[in-house]
Amino acid sequence: MFRFFENLVDPYADYAEQDTPPTRLWPFFRTYSAPFKTVFWVTGVLSVVVAAIEIGLIYYMGRLVDLMDGSPAEVWRSYGAEFIVVALLILIARPAVQAVHVLLLNNAVLPNYGTLFRWRGHRQVLRQSVGWFEDDFAGRIANRIMQTPPAAGEVVFQVFDAISYALAYLIGAAILLTTSDWQLLIPLVAWFALYAVLTQWTIKRVAVASQAASDARSEVTGRVVDSYSNIHSVKMFAHHDREIEYAKGAIEKARVTFQKEMRIFTIMDICLVSLNGLLIVGVVGWAFYLWSTGNATVGVVTAATALTLRLNSMTAWIMWALSTFFQQLGVVAEGLETIAQPITLVDDSDAKPLALTDGRVEMRGLTHHYGRGSGGLDQVDITVQPGEKIGLIGRSGAGKSTLVKLLLRFYDPEGGRILIDGQDITTVRQDSLRQAIGMVQQDNALLHRSIRENILYGRPTATEAEVIAAAKQAQAHDFIQDLNDQGGRSGYDAQVGERGVKLSGGQRQRIALARVILKNAPILLLDEATSALDSEVEAAIQQTLYGMMEGKTVIAIAHRLSTIAEMDRILVMDGGRIVEEGTHEVLLGQGGLYADFWNRQSGGFLRTEEPTS
């Protein structure tokens, strides 16, 4: 039975991804709620039915009191069959309806709705560009992805568990009192008008306060995660106290915003108790007056009293449910600031996979300044022939990394084009482009998974033998064999820690090399690929790199000039432009910037600072 209801909706069902999802709450909810449409309708109808049954019970209790006016034998003889039917309805029909309603809400809706929100939200965020992630805290993004789904689930829960039930109950109460004596409706309507004013006052303030509190909590998470993920820098610079103060500012802001939110609930509770006093005195007192004047039966007074006491107990729950509803809407609204942001770096609707034939790379009039008008690249023209290996050097900020990011299409260029085998990379699918490119960076952060999983990231379908062969080629197999983690896993099963912190820089670099070796992409980008290695390991890795380069189109960025001296061609960048080009010997003979770098290098490293004299 549970499995039937739990499988009514598939939260992972295929759907049309949107590059510009709705940014307003209700359109966004409608989009995400589409798979639940039928289930929502049935659940809503059952909420009304459950409320109607409760009203019916109160009505029948009043009728029962009135029927008890005669002798027991006479009452039983006249109404015994009716009593048995009502008893069976209470014992069988009422629990059955309630069971289906609860199963739909608790087992069909809540687990799947939150899962769908988290699944689609995570997918949407992963589609964002690298630049989008660089502009925000990873912790804040993650916090919004984690807190929005349960908040959305709570919104749905309150709609069907409290709001629809309460509306149906209130309408039923009005009908019941009207059928008893229309005058009983007067204090109920007066109370409801005041209750509506209080509700409106609460809702108007709690949604804003809740969004502010949610945003403050996300900022706390962002700052705390930022400290944790950079713990080496925190400890190395002895900035423990500074980080505590940095977090304290956000924590205090979260406390203040939460205090403001709670003030609203306190005022609401105090006003609600006073209103409920008016409800009890008004309805019960009026019913008692009608009885005393002979205009109402004891049953009417009994039903009115039971109804009023039930409403009294419900009002706090309903108000809290409404406040929670709008409070959670505030959390969802804050989450939409991340989840509903448009995807700006997208594939064309008719984008085809990259058809790689030779590996020829052309950059024509390439310009990119990150929207600042300066820095980055300025009218760069480069052609890398199939199988050609070029070195790229220049001072920090010369534009080398920008060039690589544009080639990987982490950004779209502000001007110019990049062609691979004659295909503009903005017209092909991003995943096919990046599958054709292997890259080893200066700082290769590993995933907090096993060594095997990190190497397999290069080619998930590779065999164990291919993983080991790649590790051996990267001079990593021997140290991998000696690894152990706190969970008792060893070798290729050992976990590397967040960003690979359990490994040395050289070990991380060799794992990253193994990953790229396994990928075996036809275009290879090297960004200071051996910078984290000691001299002995570097000598061995250099041979590995030269082996990796065979038959590939290679662009290698280096400050250690000895690592690129054997390249087919070397490009020297300065101020976002290519200022020199040629082989190592030709550039030395020109006596230009490259020769100056070579003459001023120490131990094979390029001094990229501007000369002081």
**232-252 residues labelled b (16+ CB within 10 A) or e (exposed):** eebeeeeeeeebeeebeebbe
User: What is the DSSP pairing of strand 423-424 with strand 523-527?
Assistant: unpaired
Residue 352: CB atoms within 10 Å? 12
Residue 366: per-residue pLDDT: 92
Q: Which residues pair with 556 in a beta bridge?
A: 391, 526
pLDDT, position 4: 93
Q: Show the 3-state SS of 282-337.
A: HHHHHHHHHHHCCCCCHHHHHHHHHHHHHHHHHHHHHHHHHHHHHHHHHHHHHHHH
Which comes out higher in pLDDT, residue 55 or 476?
A: 476
pLDDT above 70 coverage of the chain, percent: 92
Q: Distance (Å, rounded) from C-alpha 36 to C-alpha 556? A: 52
161: nearest Cα among 371, 327, 321, 8: 321
Q: Cα separations (Å) of 246 from 134, 138, 141, 213, 241?
A: 20, 17, 19, 18, 9
- Using pLDDT thresholds of 50, 70 and 90, give the confidence band for residue 604: very low
Highest mean pLDDT among 215-224, 427-436, 483-492, 493-502: 427-436
pLDDT of 510 above 60: yes
Q: Give the amino acid at 346.
A: V
pLDDT at 503: 79
pLDDT for res 612 = 41
The gap from C-alpha 124 to its chain's centroid, in whole angstroms, comes to 8
Mean pLDDT of the chain: 83
Q: What angle do CA 217, 220, 225 make, to 5 degrees?
A: 130
pLDDT above 50: residue 243: yes
Tell me the three state secondary structure of residue 379: strand
Give yes or no for residue 170 having a pLDDT over 80: no
Q: How confident is the model at residue 537 (pLDDT cuts 50, 70, 90)?
A: low
Mean of pLDDT values over 228-256: 82
Q: What is the DSSP letter of 375?
A: S
* 396/586: higher pLDDT: 586
pLDDT of residue 96: 92
**Which uninterrupted H or E stretch holds 71?**
none
Query: Which residue is listed with tokens 């993920």?
Result: 229
Least confident of 161-175, 207-221, 485-499: 161-175
**Superfamily covering domain 347-436+567-608:** P-loop containing nucleotide triphosphate hydrolases (3.40.50.300)
d(CA 200, CA 25): 19
Alpha-carbon span 441 to 505, nearest angstrom: 12
92-101, 174-183, 211-220: least confidently modelled range: 174-183
Pairwise CA distance, residues 236 & 106, whole Å = 50
Average pLDDT over residues 588-594: 88
The answer to whether 394 and 608 have CB atoms below 8 angstroms apart is yes
Question: In terms of Cα–Cα distance, which of 307, 305, 298 is closest to 69?
Answer: 298
Percent of the chain with pLDDT over 90: 19
Compute the distance between CA of residue 259 and CA of residue 262 in angstroms, rounded to an integer. 5
Span 536-545, average pLDDT = 68
> Lowest mean pLDDT: which of 117-121, 507-511, 602-606?
602-606
pTM of the model: 0.72
Same fold, 10-339 and 347-436+567-608: no
**Contact in structure between 185 and 282 (CB atoms under 8 Å):** no
> Could you read off the pLDDT of 297-321 as tens digits, one per residue?
777 777 777 777 777 777 767 777 7
CA angle 47, 49, 52 (to 5 degrees): 110
Q: Token pair of 258, please?
A: 């939460």
Q: Is the confidence at residue 610, as pLDDT, over 70? A: no
Is CATH 3.40.50.300 the classification given to domain 10-339?
A: no
Model confidence band, residue 535 (pLDDT cutoffs 50, 70, 90) = low
Q: What string of DSSP letters covers 346-359? A: ---TT-B----SS-
Most confident of 21-30, 162-171, 290-299, 555-564: 21-30
Residue pair 577/379 in contact (Cβ under 8 Å)? The answer is yes
Give tens-digit pLDDT for 515-533: 999 999 999 998 876 665 5
Span 461-492, pLDDT tens digits? 999 999 999 999 888 898 899 888 887 888 99
User: What's residue 365's pLDDT?
Assistant: 92
Domain residue ranges in the chain: 10-339, 347-436+567-608
pLDDT higher at 256 or 48: 256
**pLDDT for the residue 536:** 61
Nearest to 593 by CA among 570, 567, 613, 560: 570
